[in-house]
């Protein structure tokens, strides 16, 4: 799908090697429930379009907000470097194989009453409605399926009217493609019903009001600065048994603020060899299998990590 005029862009898109990987699976796997498939996902999906002029979000520390005001030439580039976890646009991430989107929504205080954007330390230039429309248009014709997680960020979250506005917006954009919550479906069942999107929403009152919403997904994601510590954490979580439904294993590193502000990208690069080794050793399916595996910089290193996650599905055919 072409980008909307003026829409933020990442670098030139790589060849979409995994744009239709779900429909290219063995038909035997079309009858496996989504929570037993191996699904690649992106962490903090919308950070490719962070607004360089945006203030630091109110959810962050007063010290960090003060530093960006008093020393913007030093602090702001560092904050943007730390906050950026993706460089491909949302549709390019989908072309690269991501089928789980981590959308962190907040109300941008300097905008209009319904000015909903995405946030990761700072706000994005992209509006929520525009991004959801891009995703819905990418889904045509209906050949793939997505798990979309909406994580609401804010000092006290959104007001209830804003939650309703956001949910109605998503319902209007995705329409009949939304799969109501219930038993996790297979790809064949979703396609037969014309459904493609499972919308997880991190606000229980809204989930109770809207049968189209799924509750927040369990996530294995520890605050680990080193790949070895991250792998040990993920193994410890596995030993306790996997959740019964859809869930996410995060492979991104989280450093201390001082190191992260300077070395964000190098941390990602350093994590790749041990994390890829861990991913290749996993098996989808019932306990203790993995399900969604989310990562920073989808498409990095030629898309090798995404390919590794997709390839795990072949173990279900053995």
Predicted confidence pLDDT, tens digits, the chain (318 residues): 433 333 445 455 445 789 999 999 999 999 999 999 999 999 999 999 998 877 776 666 666 666 666 566 666 777 777 788 999 999 999 999 999 999 999 988 877 778 899 998 888 999 999 999 999 999 988 789 999 999 886 655 689 999 999 999 999 999 999 999 999 999 999 999 999 999 999 999 999 999 999 999 999 986 788 889 999 999 999 999 999 999 999 998 876 555 555 555 545 655 678 889 999 999 999 878 999 999 999 988 778 999 999 999 999 998
CA torsion 252→157→216→179, rounded to 10°?
Answer: -120
In a domain? residue 221: yes
Contact of 178 with 212, CB cutoff 8 Å: yes
Q: What is the pLDDT of residue 12?
A: 52
**Among the listed residues 286, 290, 316, the one whose alpha carbon sits nearest the alpha carbon of residue 28:** 316
**Sequence-distant (≥ 6) Cβ neighbours of residue 215 within 8 angstroms:** 181, 200, 201, 204, 207
Parent domain of 168: 27-317
In a domain? residue 56: yes
What CATH number corresponds to the domain at position 114? 3.20.20.190
Name the E strands within 137-240.
Answer: 146-152, 197-201, 213-214, 219-220
Tokens of 65: 């907000």
In a domain? residue 10: no
Overall number of domains in the chain: 1
Q: What is the pLDDT of residue 143?
A: 82
Residue with tokens 């949302």: 90
């Amino acid at each position: 799908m072409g980008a909307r005029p003026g829409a933020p862009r990442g670098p030139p898109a790589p060849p979409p090697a995994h744009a239709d990987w779900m429909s290219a699976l063995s038909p035997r796997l079309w009858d496996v429930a989504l929570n037993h498939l191996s699904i690649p996902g992106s962490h903090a999906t919308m950070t490719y379009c962070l607004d360089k002029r945006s203030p630091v979000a109110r959810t962050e520390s007063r010290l960090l907000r003060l530093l960006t005001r008093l020393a913007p030439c030093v602090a702001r580039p560092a904050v943007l470097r730390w906050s950026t976890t993706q460089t491909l646009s949302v549709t390019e991430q989908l072309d690269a194989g991501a089928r789980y989107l981590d959308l962190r929504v907040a109300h941008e205080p300097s905008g209009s009453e319904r000015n909903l954007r995405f946030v990761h330390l700072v706000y994005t230039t992209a509006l929520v409605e525009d991004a959801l429309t891009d995703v819905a248009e990418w889904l045509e014709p209906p050949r793939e399926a997505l798990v979309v997680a909406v994580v609401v960020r804010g000092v006290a979250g959104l007001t209830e009217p804003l939650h309703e506005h956001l949910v109605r917006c998503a319902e209007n954009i995705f329409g009949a493609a939304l799969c109501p919550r219930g038993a996790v479906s297979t790809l064949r069942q979703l396609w037969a019903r014309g459904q493609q999107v499972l919308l997880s929403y991190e606000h229980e009152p809204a989930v109770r009001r809207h049968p189209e919403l799924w509750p927040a997904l369990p996530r294995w994601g520890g605050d680990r600065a080193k790949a070895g510590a991250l792998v040990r954490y993920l193994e410890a979580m596995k030993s306790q048994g996997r959740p019964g439904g859809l869930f996410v294993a995060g492979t991104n590193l989280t450093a201390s603020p001082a190191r992260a502000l300077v070395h964000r990208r190098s941390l990602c690069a350093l994590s790749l060899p041990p994390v890829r080794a861990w991913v290749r050793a996993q098996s989808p399916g019932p306990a203790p299998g993995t399900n969604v595996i989310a990562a920073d910089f989808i498409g990095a290193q030629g898309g090798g990590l995404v390919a590794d996650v997709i390839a795990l599905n072949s173990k279900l055919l053995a």
